[in-house]
A and B are shown apart, each in its own frame.
Chain A
Amino acid sequence: MHDDHDHDHGSEMSPMVARVRALETVLTEKGYVDPKALDLIVETYETKIGPRNGAQVVARAWTDPAYKARLMKHATAAIAELGFAGMQGEHMVAVENTDVVHNLVVCTLCSCYPLPVLGLPPVWYKSAPYRSRAVLDPRSVLSEFGLNVPASKEIRVWDSTAEIRYLVIPQRPGGTEGWTVEKLATLVTRDSMIGAGLALDPQTSGASA
């Protein structure tokens, strides 16, 4: 499986355009699909579900110790408290980065990803380079993301082989004392909730107290 979008795999010249259109026409004429239902699925993942959801979970966990305790013990229920639940988030587990452990999530077999909190996965997460190397050499994969984890720090890789979905809780950056949940959430990136990055540094991210 490769991720080349530059040539004939996706452009308007692609045979895929015609083949997909043909399939949708057949399925619609037969009454198997409702094109409006297809539009709504696309709209949901493009506009309603995305990493903003997960960022709210993380920011709440940073500010509310009781919430964090519930999240670490029963993540699915704690995430549902904030209104995020559903397909590919039925069995959530939260894993926390600390001074001694850095967590990284992968799906070596396909592309399993916690959709209700992160939306659809980026191409790199689904790509052969990531799926093959995140388990063999995670420290060098992280360095390709610009994240240099000290050799002494444990990297804990979670391969999503079942229907359990993992959400990484990144460490709260310093210099954010007294920040609101809403403002903290702006520091929580998608990559930080996969483990491929850290939460943004308030000094360099443009957010200010």
Chain B
Amino acid sequence: MNGAHDMGGVMGFGPVVAEKNEPVFHFEWERRVRAMTMAMGAPMGSNIDQGRFAREDRSPSDYLSKTYYELWFAGLTRMLLDRDLVTAEELRAGLSIHPAKPVPRLLKAEDVASVLAKGRSYERTIQQPARFKTGDRVRARNMHPTGHTRLPRYVRGHIGTVMHTHGAHVFPDSNAAGLGEAPQWLYNIRFTGRELWGEAADPAVTLSVDAWESYLEPIL
């Protein structure tokens, strides 16, 4: 979706301000939100793309008025409510009123270290050969899907060069919608700053995105 999360090139946010000796978390509730979000992936049976979409799928004013971990909290509660794992009444009351639903898996304390250390590969094997190769000129499609997508607006319609083929990876647009992993070839595409931002742009800047095959069309 063309949401407020897609920030590349938006103006007016002001300077970047770095905090000296910044702590990992600023408040105890942020620790709990981070941890609950990670721990609830297993019982919710959710994937990383559904988590991202739950945070970004909201009005621009809502997105921009929340801090980072407020967005995480909003995304987590939405996923829990959508799956009927909790009710709004329970969240207001701060206690469990209805019996727990059966869930596919739980994250046990003894498994935390191995789950974090193992991660989860997003690379898959597919039969279909890659359509593009290093050096090919491609155009990022001018597309505006209403669901989750990982092709930022600032590259859409612009021409870049395939720098690398990463392999076939889980396709977020499908995965976020619960329509399966539908893996596609994933490429690193490099653009010049001037291609993206016009003649007045810095001539010595290049930018790249990692783009799935269906985000791209060949330049003939």
A residues touching B (Cβ–Cβ < 8 Å)?
Answer: 1-5, 9-11, 14, 16-27, 29-34, 36-42, 44-46, 49-50, 85-91, 108-111, 116, 119-120, 122-124, 126-133, 135-139, 141, 144-145, 151-164, 191, 196
- CB of B8 within 8 A of CB of A136, answer yes
Contact A162 B150 (CB under 8 A): yes
27 interchain pairs (CB within 8 A)? A1-B5, A2-B65, A5-B67, A19-B73, A20-B29, A22-B91, A22-B93, A25-B95, A32-B100, A37-B108, A41-B112, A44-B113, A46-B25, A87-B120, A91-B166, A109-B7, A109-B152, A110-B5, A110-B52, A116-B119, A126-B68, A132-B7, A154-B206, A156-B205, A161-B211, A162-B186, A164-B166
Interface pair B94/A122, CB less than 8 Å apart: no
- On chain B, the number of residues with a Cβ less than 8 Å from chain A's Cβ atoms is 98
B166 contact from A129, A130, A152, A162, Cβ within 8 A: A162
User: Contact mask B38-79 → A, CB, 8 Å, 1/0?
Assistant: 111001000010001001100000011111101101001100
Q: Which of B85, B86, B94, B113 is the one whose CB lies under 8 Å from A21?
A: B94
Expressed in whole angstroms, the minimum distance between the Cβ of B78 and any Cβ of chain A is 12
Q: Tell me the complex Cα distance, A30–B111, Å.
A: 19
Q: How far is the CB of A144 from chain B (nearest CB, A)?
A: 5
Kindly identify which residue among B24, B112, B206 contacts A46, using a CB–CB cutoff of 8 Å.
B24
Q: A11 vs B9: C-alpha distance in the bound complex, in angstroms?
A: 32
Q: When chains A and B are docked, how far (Å) is the Cα of A34 from the Cα of B70? A: 22
Q: Is the CB of A32 within 8 A of B9?
A: no
**B3-52 CB contacts (< 8 Å) to partner A:** 4-11, 13-19, 22, 24-36, 38-40, 43, 48, 52
Measured in the bound complex, the distance between the Cα atoms of B151 and A132 in whole Å is 15
B210 adjacent to A160 (CB under 8 Å): yes
- Among A32, A87, A159, contact of B85 (Cβ-Cβ < 8 Å): A32
Contact B123 A91 (CB under 8 A): yes
- What residue of chain A has the Cβ atom nearest to residue B117's Cβ? A86
Task: Using CB atoms, name the residue of chain A closest to B30.
Answer: A10
- In contact, B67 and A120 (Cβ under 8 angstroms): no
Chain B residue contacts of A89, Cβ below 8 A: 119
The residues of B that contact A154 with a CB separation of less than 8 Å are 204-206
